[in-house]
Structure 1
Amino acid sequence: MKLEDLQRAAHGEPEAVAAVADALKRGATGELQAVTDLPPFEAARLILQLKPKRARKLLDMLPDAPSLALVAELDPWISEHLLDEKLQKRISRIAARLPVEDAADFLADTPEELKERALAEHPHQAALRTALDFREETAGAIMQRRLVAVPIGMNVGEAVAEIRARADRIDRLYTVYVVDAERRLLGFLKLRDLLLNPPETPLRDLVRMDAVSVSADTDREEVARLAERADLAMVPVVDAQGRLLGVVTTEDLLETEREEAAEDMMLMSGLDPDTSPADSPLQIVPRRLPWLAAGLIGSGTAALVVGSYEDALAEAAILATLIPIVMSLAGNAGIQASTVTVQALASGSYWAGDIFGRTLRELGGALLNGIAVALIVTLGIFVLSTIAEVPNPDLLALTAGLTLVAVMAQASVIGSLVPVILDKLKFDPAVATGVFITTSNDVIGVLIFFVIATTLYL
C-alpha cells in the first residue's frame, strides 16, 4: 500500500481501513512497510481505526523507534488496553535502552505495569526512578527533561557550539537557559541574543536574570495559569535548591488543560476521574457505584422529607405535581452557579476579595430568574384551573411562585459557595457540580416547598 492509502486509513476512510485490516489478517506486513513513514500522530490515528488484534499486529511490525513514538502518542488507557504481554516486554526493552532523560519523558504517561518493567531493565534504574518519582498532577510529573542549558562562564560562540553539538537531542528551541556550576538556574537567553552578538561576548553580559520558574511540586494547573499570565512558551522547573530539572512546554500545558477539563467533566458527571472507555465490568463498579450510592442517599433523604408530609399530600394531592418542578429547578440553578464558580477557580479568575459581592450578585440573579419562572408556573396554574378542577388556584399559584423563588435563590447561593469551600479544604471543587449539589438542593428544595405549602395552602 502507498503512503497516501495509509493516510486515508488513518483518517477513517472505510475502504482504506479495510485494506489495512485485510493485509494484517493475511500476515502481508510487507504491503504495509510505508507505515514507517507516517508521522507518529498519524500512525496513532491509524491504530485507533483498527480492532485491538489487528492494532497489536501493526504495532509489532514497526521498528523500535517508530513503535516507541507511536505508543507515546496514545492515551495511557489505550496503551494499557493495547499492549499485551509480548508487546509490553518489547516496548519496555526499547525504553530501557534510552538515556534517563528520554526514558523518563516516555514512561511518565505510560501504564504502571509497563513503567515498572522498563525500570527493572534500565541500567540506571535509581536515576530513572528518581526522575519519575513526582506526585501526579505536578510540574515535575509533566515536564520534559530535554532542554538547552549552558554554563554562565561561556561566551556566545561556545554556547552556539554547545547547542549544535546537542542538535540531535533538541526538538524545538525556544529559550536557552543559563546555569551555574551546580546547575542552578540563573537566567535565560533568547535566540536573538546569540544570533545578534559577536562570538566573544560573555554570556554573563547578555543573560536575562528575570527567569520565571516553578518548583517540581507545583500543581500543573498553577503552572498553566502562570504561563498564560506571563505569556511564556515554556516554564523551567527547578528543585528545592534551584537546580534546573526540566521544562514544561506549550504542548504540555495544552495537554494539561485538556486532561483537567476531562477530569472536571468526569467529576461533574459523578464519575471517578480514572474512569475510561476501556474499563471492565469489575472496574466500572468501584468507579461508579460510590457516586450512585451518594445519589441514592440524597434521593432517599428527599423521599423521607416527602414521606413526612404524607398527610399534606393526602389532603391536597395536587401538591405532588409540583414536586418534580421544584426539584428540577433547584438542581439546575445550583449546577449553573457552581459550574461558573468552578470555571473561575480553574482559570485563576476567581476574586476571593469579592466573594460577598459575588454572592449578592448570584442571589440577585437567582431572585430575578425565580420570579420569571414563578410567573410562568402561576400562569400555567390559572390556565389549568379553567379546564380542570384545581382547589384554591390563587393560593396554589402563590405557593408555587414563592417556593420557586426561594429554592432557586438558596440553590444559587449554595452552588456558588460550596466550590469555594471545597477548594479551601483542598478538594477538587468540580465535585460540587455533581451529585453533591444536585442531591442537597433536592432535599432543601422539597423541604422549603412543604413548609410554604403547609403554611399557605393547607
Structure 2
Amino acid sequence: MTPFKLTEELIVQINELVELRRDSELVGLMGEIHYADVAEIINELNEEEATYLIKLLDSDKTSDVLTELDEDVREGILSNLSAKEIAGELEELDTDDAADIVGELPQEIVQEVISEIEDKEHAKDIVDLLRYDENSAGGLMAKELVKVREGWDVLTCVKEMRAQAENVTRVHSIYVVDDEDHLKGRLSLKDLLTTSTKTHIAQVYIPKVDSVNVNEKPEEVAKIMSKYDLEAIPVVDEIGRLVGRITIDDIVDVIKEEADKDYQMAAGISQDVEADDSIWDLTRARLPWLILGLFGGAGAAVIMGGFEEMFRQYTVLFLFTPLIAAMAGNVGVQSSAIIVQGLANDDIKGSIGNRLIKEMLLALLNGIILACLLLLFTWIWKGNFMTALAISVSLIAVIVVAGFIGTFTPLFLHKRGIDPAIATGPFITTSNDIFGILIYFMIAKMILGI
C-alpha cells in the first residue's frame, strides 16, 4: 500500500469539486481514502468546505474522521451541524470517542444531542463516561467489551459472545465476571474452543488478570500496559466491578500527548500550543520562561559586577565566562533529562541519595577530563599556569554542582507531585548559569589570591 501524501493539487481539486457541488465525484474520491487521511485533507479546508464534506459523506466514515481532526477544526464543524446530525455521528463511534466529542460541545446543546441518539444504551454509556475526570482511566476507557459470567456453560458463553461482539470493533480479551459484575479473570479463546460445551466457565477461566481502577492516572495506565505488553486492559470501579476497557490506541495518544507536553516544557513553553495557534497564545506560552531567562541573565550580570577588580587584573577570566555558563547549562540539562526520562519510564529505583551520589561521581569524572583538556589549552594559549589552573578547577566545581542541581531538582519535584519535566530546559539552564558564574569567580579569586 502506497502511503498517502497530501498535495496542493489534491486540495485544489477538492476545492473545485466542492465549489461546483460535484457530489458524486467527491464521494468517489473520498471513498478511496482512509479516514485519517480524509481528516488531514479537511484540516486544510476552510470551515464551510469542511462542513460540506462532513455532511456529504456517510456517518460510518465521517464519525472516525471527526476524531482525527484538529480540535479547533472539529469545533468549527460541529458548530455548523444540528443536534440530530451530531447524534448520527456519535452513534457510529465507540463510547470513549463519542464521550470525548460530547465533552467538547457547548453545555446548552449536550442534552439535546444525547436525546437525539436512537440507541439509548449507547447514549447511557456516553453519559456514564462523562462522569469521570478526563485525566483518569475512567475518562479514557470505552464501554465496548466482551464479558461472560463464571456461572455460564461454554455453549451459553459462545451465544452471548456473538451478541456482544456485534458492538465491539476489536475483541482483545474475554473478561469473566460474577453475577454482580465483579471482575474475576479472563477467558482463553483456545480453552473455549477445546472445552466441552457443557463445561462451566468457572472451571476454565484464568483468574490472573491485570486491571486498573477508574481513578488511575492515564500515565500510570500507559506504564502498566507498556510493561506487560498489553493490547487492552480492563477498568474496574472502587468495588472491583468491570466498567470498561482501555485499548492500545488510546494509550498511544496518551504517550504522544505526554511526550509533546514534556518536549514543550523542556523547550520553555508553558502551555499546550501548536505552530498555527495565534500570536497571542504563542506569546503567553513562551514569555514566562523568557522572563525567567531575562532575570537570570540580569542576576549573572550583577554577580560579575562584584568581581570588576579581578577582571582588570585577569582579563582572560572574562573570555572564559561564556564557556563556564554553557558547560553548567549543558550538564544540568543532561542530568535532568536523564532523570525525567527515568521517572517517566518508572526506571528510577532506590533512594534519592544514591542517585545523587552516582550523578555527582559521573559529573566529577566528566569534569576532570574536560578540565584537563581546558588546562592544557589555556596554558599553551596564555602561558600562565595559575590562571589556567584556576579556570580548570572552577570548571570541575561548576560541572559537579550543575550535575547535582540537574539531578536533585526533578527528583524533588516528583516527590512533591509536580511534573519533573519543568526541571529541564530554561529552568535548569538559568539556575546553573547563575550558580556556575558565581562558583567560577569565587574559586578563581581564591586560587589567584585576589
TM > 0.5 = yes
Tell me the secondary structure at the aligned position of residue 216 of structure 2.
Answer: coil
Question: Where does residue 11 of structure 1 map in the other structure?
Answer: 5
Query: 1:41-190 alignment to 2 at 5 Å?
Result: 41-48=36-43, 50=45, 54-74=49-69, 78-84=70-76, 87-90=78-81, 93-97=84-88, 98=90, 102-108=94-100, 112-113=104-105, 117-123=109-115, 128-190=126-188
Match of 2:325 among 304, 324, 327: 327
The equivalent position to 1:30 in structure 2, one of 6, 18, 24, is 24
Supply the distance in 1 between the matched residues of 2:160 and 2:438 (Cα, whole angstroms).
Answer: 72
Contact 1:234–1:249 (CA under 8 A) maintained in structure 2: yes
Structure 2 residue 402 is matched with structure 1 residue 411: yes
Deviations 1:9-54 (A, max 9, x none): x412444443233323444333211213433223223334556664
What CA deviation, in whole Å up to 9, does each residue of 1:216-246 have, x standing for no partner?
Answer: 1111221122223333221111111211111
The answer to whether the 8 Å contact 2:149/2:176 transfers is yes
Aligned pair partner of 2:382 in 375, 381, 385? 385
The alignment partner of 2:94 has SS state of: helix
Residue correspondence of structure 1 range 332-343 to structure 2 within 5 A:
332-343=330-341
Quote the Cα distance in structure 2 between the aligned partners of 1:133 and 1:185: 21
Q: Secondary structure at the match of 1:105?
A: helix
Sort the Cα spacing of 1:273 and 1:137 in 2 relative to 1 into closer, same or farther, 3 A.
Answer: farther
* Structure 2 CA distance for partners of 1:110 and 1:314, relative to 1, 3 Å: farther
Kindly state the Cα deviation for residue 127 of structure 1 after the two structures are TM-superposed: 6.3
Which residue number corresponds to residue 363 of structure 1?
Answer: 360
What amino acid sits opposite 2:322 in the alignment? P
Paired with 1:451 and 1:288, the residues of 2 have a C-alpha distance of 33
In structure 1, the partner of 2:444 is 453
Shift of 1:328: 0.5
TM-score normalised by the chain length of structure 2: 0.89
Residue aligned with 2:441, SS: helix
Whole-angstrom CA distance in 2 between matches of 1:226 and 1:175:
16
Counterpart of 1:108 in structure 2: which amino acid?
D
- Equivalents in 2 of 1:454, 1:109: separation in Å? 64
Counterpart CA distance in 1 for 2:98 and 2:376 is: 63
> Equivalences for 1:432-447 in 2 at 5 Å?
432-447=423-438
Amino acid at match of 1:376: L
Contact 1:213 1:238 in 2 (8 A): yes
The AA in structure 2 aligned to 1:20 is I
Q: Using the alignment, how far apart are the partners of 1:307 and 1:202 within structure 2?
A: 83
Q: Which residue type is aligned with residue 367 of structure 2?
A: G
1:166 alignment partner, SS class: helix
CA distance in 2 between partners of 1:184 and 1:111 (Å):
28
Shift >6 Å, 4+ stretches: 124-127
Instruction: From the superposition, tell whether residues 101 and 146 of structure 1 become closer, same or farther in structure 2 (CA, over 3 Å).
Output: farther
**Does the residue aligned with 1:172 lie in a helix, a strand or coil?**
coil
Which amino acid counterpart does residue 389 of structure 2 have in structure 1? Answer: L
Do the aligned partners of residues 313 and 209 (structure 1) sit closer, same or farther apart at CA in structure 2, a change above 3 Å counting?
same
Return the offset for 1:99.
5.8
Query: TM-score when scaled to structure 1?
Result: 0.87
The residue type equivalent to 1:395 in the other structure is M
Number of residue equivalences: 441
Q: C-alpha root-mean-square deviation of aligned residues, in Å?
A: 2.7
User: Which whole-Å deviations, capped at 9, do the CAs of 1:414-458 have from their partners, x for residues lacking one?
Assistant: 211211111100001111112221111111101101101222233
Give secondary structure in 2 for the equivalent of 1:137: coil
Partner amino acid, structure 1, of 2:25: E
Of 282, 285, 288, the residue aligned with 1:287 is 285
117-126 vs 367-376, greater mean Cα deviation: 117-126
Query: Residues 242-266 of structure 1: CA distance to partner in whole angstroms, max 9, x if unpaired?
Result: 1111111122222222221111111
Q: CA deviation at 1:272?
A: 2.4
- Measured after TM superposition, the shift of residue 212 of structure 1 is 1.6
- For 2:422 and 2:358, the matched residues in 1 are separated by 23
Letter in 2 for 1:58: L
Report SS of the residue matched to 1:348. coil
| Closer, same or farther: CA 184–412 of 1 in aligned 2, 3 Å | same
Native 8 Å contact 1:64 1:94 kept in 2: no
**Letter matched to residue 247 of structure 2:** T
Alignment pair present for 1:40 and 2:40:
no
Are 1:398 and 2:389 an aligned pair? Answer: yes
Distance change in 2, residues 1:311/1:126 (3 Å):
farther
CA contact (8 A) 2:153 2:199 kept: yes
Q: Distance in 2 between matches of 1:184 and 1:380?
A: 71
Partner of residue 308 from structure 2, selected from 291, 310, 326: 310
* CA-CA distance at 1:352 after TM superposition: 2.5
Equivalent residues of 2:99, 2:127 under 8 A apart: no
Tell me, in whole angstroms, the C-alpha distance in 1 between the residues paired with 2:137 and 2:339: 25
Q: Identity over aligned residues, as a percent?
A: 31
**Per the alignment, in what secondary structure is the counterpart of residue 230 of structure 2?**
coil
Look up the SS of the partner of 1:122 in the other structure.
Answer: helix
Give distance in 1, aligned partners of 2:386 and 2:194.
82
Which blocks of at least 5 consecutive residues in structure 2 are unaligned?
A: none
Q: Which residue, out of 15, 19, 35, partners 1:21?
A: 15
Q: How far apart in 2 are the matches of 1:115 and 1:40?
A: 28
